[in-house]
Amino acid sequence: MPRLLAAAAAFAALILGAWPALAAGSIPLSLSVQVDTQGRPLAGCLLYTYAAGTTTPQSAYQDGGLTIPHPWPVVCDAAGRLPQLFFADGSIKVRLTDRAGVQVLGADGVLVIGPSSGGGGGSPVDPTTVFSTGAIQHRYGTGPISGWVRANGRTIGSATSGATERAHADAQPLFEYLWSADPSLAVAGGRGASANADWLAGKTIALPDARGRALAGLDDMGSTAAGRLTSSFFGAQATVLGAAGGTESRSLIAANLPPHYHNVYLYDPGHAHGYRRPNEVANFFGVGPGSAGVAGLNNSTTDTATTGVKIADAPAGGNEDRTATTGSAMTASPFAAVGPRLLTTIYLKL
C-alpha cells in the first residue's frame, strides 16, 4: 500500500506539473490505478469524498472550473483507474472501497493541491492552498481574486442561489464554515436544520462586512476578557465574533468636559450725587446795615459710598442663589476619531 500511494503521488505530481493555471486543484488519487492487497486492479472501486472533518459529501469535478461534477461516489473503470478529479481549494476527506463496499483506504485532511495561479514570482505553489477556509488576508487591490471573496457584506451560495459576491460550487466550504462560526450572519429564508441542508436548498449567506472597518482581536480569544474593548466605549459586546463598534467621529457633550471654572469680574468704584439746598444761604455780601447784598446758595454732594455687591461662594450652610450665564463661544461640530489609515481590500478564503 505505501508503494501504491507513493506511485500515485508521483504520477499525480507529473500530471499537476503540466496543468494550466486553474482556480481549483486535485489530489494524488486522480488518474491513479487502485489495486487490492494482492496487487490486482480494483475494477469498479468506489471513491467517496467529503468535506474535511465531516461526513458531508463533497463533489469531485471533471473540470478545473468546477462546473461538471462527477457522480457521487466516483467509480473506477475496469482497470481500477480513477478519472481526473478536481476539487475546490482546501482539504477533503476520502474513503475508497471495492465494488462490494469493503473499505480499502480512508484519509481525512487530504490537501487539494493545484498549480500556481500566476501573477509573478514564479512560485510553483498555489497560494490558495496555503490558507484554510475562513482565513483573512489584505490585498492591495480592489477586484475579486481566485479562491477568495471580499468581506463586503454581500452573499455567497451555489451556482443557482443568486448570490451577489460568489455563486459557485467552490463557495460551499466557506458557506458551511460561516454558517457554523457566526450565527448572526443572515441566511436567505432563515436557517434550516444544518449548513449543508441550507447549501443544498440553494440558500445564500451574508459575508462579514468589513467595509470601512479596521480589524481587531476579540477581547477574550479563548482567555478571560482583557477589558481593552468594552461595550461602554466600543459600543458592542467585544467578546462576540463579528461584533462591530466604534465610530468615525465624536461630538463632545457636557459629561465629557473636566471640572473647570470661568472667571467673572464685577467692578463697583463707588460714586456720589450732587444736590442743591435753595433755602440755605451759603454766604452773604453787603455794605452796612440795611443795605442790599448778594447771597449765594449752598451747593454740595452726597457722601461717597459703594453698593456692597460682591461675587463669592455661599457661606457654609447658606442658601444663597447665584445663577448666571457666561457668553457662548465656538460651535458643536464633531471631531475626527480615526487614526491614520492605508486602505486595502479584505478577503476571506473560500
Model confidence band, residue 288 (pLDDT cutoffs 50, 70, 90): low
Is 205 a member of any domain? Answer: yes
Region 265-273: mean pLDDT is 68
All cell numbers assigned to 290:
440795611
Q: What is the pTM of this model?
A: 0.53
Count of positions (residues) in the chain: 350
Q: Say yes or no: 72 and 151 in one domain.
A: no
**Is pLDDT larger for residue 300 or for residue 221?**
221
Domain containing residue 98: 2-112
Is 29 a member of any domain? Answer: yes
With CA atoms as reference, report the closest residue to 34 among 17, 11, 14, 51. Answer: 11
Is 142 a member of any domain? Answer: yes
β-pairing, 74-75 vs 46-51, is antiparallel
Q: 169: which DSSP letter?
A: G
Is 27 a member of any domain? Answer: yes
Q: Say yes or no: 46 and 144 in one domain.
A: no
Q: Say yes or no: 103 and 22 in one domain.
A: yes
| Residue in the structure block whose three cell numbers are 461602554 | 232
Give one DSSP letter per residue of 118-136, joined into a string.
-SSTT-SS-GGGTSPTT-E
Is 100 a member of any domain? Answer: yes
By three-state DSSP, how is residue 200 classified?
A: helix
Distance CA 119, CA 46 (A): 38
Please state which of the ranges 46-50, 87-91, 252-256 shows the lowest mean pLDDT. Answer: 252-256
E-strand spans in 204-319? 205-206, 249-250, 274-286, 293-301
**Is pLDDT larger for residue 111 or for residue 254?**
111
Is 179 a member of any domain? Answer: yes
**How many domains does the structure of the chain reveal?**
2
With CA atoms as reference, report the closest residue to 170 among 64, 99, 261, 257. Answer: 64
Give residue 177's identity as a one-letter amino acid code.
Y
